[in-house]
Structure 1
């Protein structure tokens, strides 16, 4: 039989609340990191697909940006604010490329006061030449 002091009454409840809040914040942080990584990976795949679209022989170099934006709107719900640009580029060895740059602002649910992070990705593809 344990003897409880009057000063220790209710301390288990306070400890549970304090530890529970820390675990909840840790859990929400893991969820937020997973969400940001998912959005980044989807943006990178869609930017690369936009670059491949614009790299076709019969496509203009600047058609990759709007194509990537349409892909992003359909693959990441609620990301209609994505901005993508595309244009011609040349790698250091002289191979003609098409480059698509996309950026999107992702809200951070764990951070207070509406904190956001901006994710920027770049997709490249070799331009087809006749």
Structure 2
């Protein structure tokens, strides 16, 4: 037998088996990381939109419906319409002071496509301005 010329007969096809065994472990890990990244992106985006909507409603002439609409618009612009369906706003207490609260509830499907998803609920708060 020549050295380095060919592999022994017993090792033929071993690379394919190794590749399959590694991919069976690697693909679910990569998909899991992608799902976590998607959920965190949506959560951070709707959280920022809810906070911005609460600030819009907290101005002197603002009202909760203005804050809810601003939140919906920001979510639709940043990610997608389906994440802006359950937005509500109202007056409340923020650290003991009168304020506005914007709530967003949404569902993030598996890998952004379909199937069972992750339920997210976030709130944005802002202290109301006093009229001059």
TM-score in terms of structure 2 length: 0.82
Verify the 8 A CA contact 1:72 1:79 in the aligned structure 2. Answer: no
Match of 2:124 in 1: 123
Matched, 1:52 2:55: yes
Change in 2 beyond 3 A, CA 1:91/1:80: closer
Tell me how large the CA RMSD over aligned residues is: 2.3
The CA distance in 2 between the partners of 1:60 and 1:81, in whole Å, is 19
TM-score computed with the length of structure 1 as normaliser: 0.83
Aligned-partner SS, 2:82:
coil
CA distance in 2, matches of 1:91, 1:79: 29
Bigger fraction of residues in strand: 2
User: How many angstroms apart in 1 are the aligned matches of 2:116 and 2:83?
Assistant: 19
The secondary structure found in structure 2 opposite 1:79 is: helix
Compute the displacement of 1:32 (Å): 1.3
**Structure 1 unaligned blocks of 5 or more:** none
Q: Does 1:101 align with 2:97?
A: no
Counterpart check, 1:25 vs 2:28: yes
Residue 91 (structure 1) aligned with residue 87 (structure 2): no
Whole-Å Cα distance in 2 between the matches of residues 103 and 28 of structure 1? 24
Deviation of 1:82 after TM superposition, in Å, equals 2.9
Alpha-carbon shift at residue 5 of structure 1 (Å) = 7.3
**Match of 1:129, SS?**
coil
Q: List alignment gaps of at least 5 residues for structure 2.
A: none
Q: Which has the larger radius of gyration?
A: 2
Contact 1:105 1:116 in 2 (8 A): yes
Range 29-38 or range 57-66, more displaced: 57-66
